[in-house]
Amino acid sequence: MAGGWAMVPILICSAIALAIVLERCWTLRRKSVLPPGLGDEVRQWARSGQLDPSHLDTLSNGSPLGELLAAALAVRNQPRDLIKERIEDTGRHVIHRMERYLNTLGTIALIGPLLGLFGTVIGLIRMFMEVMAGGIGDPAKMAGGIGEALICTASGLTVAIPAYVLHRYFRSRVAGYCVEMEKQATALLDDLTLAPAVASPVRPRRMPTSATPDPG
């Protein structure tokens, strides 16, 4: 209340930022995005042929990495270029979901200081209006306007600084996950497209034996 009505949007932004941070911390846990051992397990399934539609659906709904690998397995009998294209298309959707709400968090980090500055301007305007109406004989009125301005500025910065730091942190975490998922998808792609060639190597042709010389 000491900061005036300009504190209302700052408090709303702080509540939204807190909700986004808690939700992203839960959603972007490493074990929920990259379950340990999932890549090796899926490649073993692909080698043994233990794949069916229900199995792929369970894999796709389990984690972002599982969704990416399931997309590759769904077209495993297609040429390598088509499988790679499906992985890239699915990867864009997966990354978009992992970055959900991060733009909102970045917007809050951007407008937090502006809202604080707006509250500062409002407080200074109110102070000067009171000075114009009653003169400078009452220092309490001036102190109230200055206090309102400083409280709004401090509140805006208090919301913006953590929001900006966490926004950059979540972006970095998503980028790291993308690199790991790309490695797992590439390994599965190699197993799906290169395994037949490795399993059936070209055997060298056997040289014919020399004919027995004619004794005559």
Domain extents for the chain? 7-196
Q: What is the mean pLDDT of residues 77-97?
A: 91
* Averaged pLDDT of the chain: 82
Q: How many CB atoms lie within 10 A of CB 133?
A: 8
Q: What is the mean pLDDT of residues 163-179?
A: 95
Backbone angles phi and psi of 148, in degrees to 5? -60, -40
Contacts of 169-172 with CB under 8 Å at 24 or more apart are 170/24, 170/28, 170/99, 170/102, 170/105, 171/99, 171/102
Does residue 206 surpass a pLDDT of 70? no
Going by pLDDT thresholds of 50, 70 and 90, the confidence category of residue 216 is very low
What pTM value is reported for the model? 0.78
Going by pLDDT thresholds of 50, 70 and 90, the confidence category of residue 2 is low
Counting residues of the chain whose pLDDT is more than 90, the rounded percentage is 44
What pLDDT does residue 30 have?
92
Contacts of 83-90 with CB under 8 Å at 24 or more apart are 83/189, 83/192, 83/193, 84/189, 87/185, 87/189
The Cα–Cα gap between 148 and 141 comes to: 11
Q: How many CB atoms lie within 10 A of CB 69?
A: 30
Among 4-8, 147-151, 204-208, the range scoring the smallest mean pLDDT is 204-208
Q: What is the mean pLDDT of residues 2-15?
A: 82
Judge contact between 110 and 99, C-beta under 8 A.
Answer: no
120-146 pLDDT, tens digit per residue, is 888 777 777 776 766 655 666 666 667
What pLDDT does residue 128 have?
75
Q: What is the mean pLDDT of residues 184-213?
A: 60
* Lookup: tokens for 55: 């199995």
Burial 14-40 (b: 16+ CB within 10 A, else e): bebbeebbeebeeebeeeebbeeebbe
Burial 182-194 (b: 16+ CB within 10 A, else e): eebbeebbebbbe
What residues contact 212, with CB distance under 8 A and at least 6 apart?
none
Does residue 207 surpass a pLDDT of 60? no
* Lookup: tokens for 148: 């309102």
Does residue 191 surpass a pLDDT of 90? no
- In the Cβ-directed half-sphere of 36, how many Cα atoms lie within 13 Å? 1
42-86 pLDDT, tens digit per residue, is 888 888 776 777 878 888 888 999 999 999 888 888 888 999 999
Q: What is the mean pLDDT of residues 143-161?
A: 82
| N-term to C-term CA, the chain | 122
What pLDDT does residue 105 have?
95
Going by pLDDT thresholds of 50, 70 and 90, the confidence category of residue 151 is confident
The Cα–Cα gap between 42 and 59 comes to: 9
